[in-house]
Chains A and B, each alone.
Chain A
Amino acid sequence: AQKITQTQPGMFVQEKEAVTLDCTYDTSDQSYGLFWYKQPSSGEMIFLIYQGSYDEQNATEGRYSLNFQKARKSANLVISASQLGDSAMYFCAMREGKRGSNQFYFGTGTSLTVIP
């Protein structure tokens, strides 16, 4: 089974609108971490946001928020007020096991295009 599933290969959003990128994960560990990365066409992976499995509040970082639904094992990324510069690939990732574990798994990514 896939550890991280991103079911949206491509998404379009109008500039200034909000968009949700889906991510579900699979683990039997109680302790894990969830990450979102942005990969522009230049190729460099840029860290966006992190959610720990024991965090009760949804993580937020500026225009990014993570909609964490533990029972559903989903960790969707919400980007508010989309900008043209948000056009990129977005990867969901999971660190399985307790903090300090090096078992990281990435999804296949979602390509986001922001339309002017």
Chain B
Amino acid sequence: GAGVSQTPSNKVTEKGKYVELRCDPISGHTALYWYRQSLGQGPEFLIYFQGTGAADDSGLPNDRFFAVRPEGSVSTLKIQRTERGDSAVYLCASSPPDEETQYFGPGTRLLVL
């Protein structure tokens, strides 16, 4: 079956611009996670959705970052006024109900010039 998909696969933007990163989880998966992975590091938790609501957004670094999941499926991570330090791979993962194994997408590589 189809895995987690993320679009775009690569995004280059200029400092100060707004970007949206999309995640399509596996069908039927209720939990959705966003992570940020900087070069040479492991994934760092950003936000977690259970259904439509953000159950935990404690990992978002500041108020320039926001994520939504309006219908409990597709999620969008939004970054306002991008900074060079936002350059990283943004990973999305989903889990089925009653299972905690996370299935990851291929990530979006964001480069802020």
Contact = CB atoms under 8 A, between A and B. Distances in A.
Q: Are A and B part of the same complex? A: yes
Interface of A: 4, 33, 35, 37, 42-47, 50, 91, 93, 95, 99-100, 102-109
Given A33-B100, A35-B101, A108-B41, A45 B33 contact: no
Interface in B41-55: 41-45, 48, 50, 55
Interface in B78-107: 89, 91, 93, 100-107
Contacts, number: 54
A109 B40 CA distance: 8
Interface residues of B, number: 25
Given A45-B91, A108-B40, A102 B106 contact: no
Query: Which applies to chain A's interface (DSSP): helix, strand, loop or mixed?
Result: strand
Chain B residues touching A, majority SS: strand
A35 B100 CA distance: 10
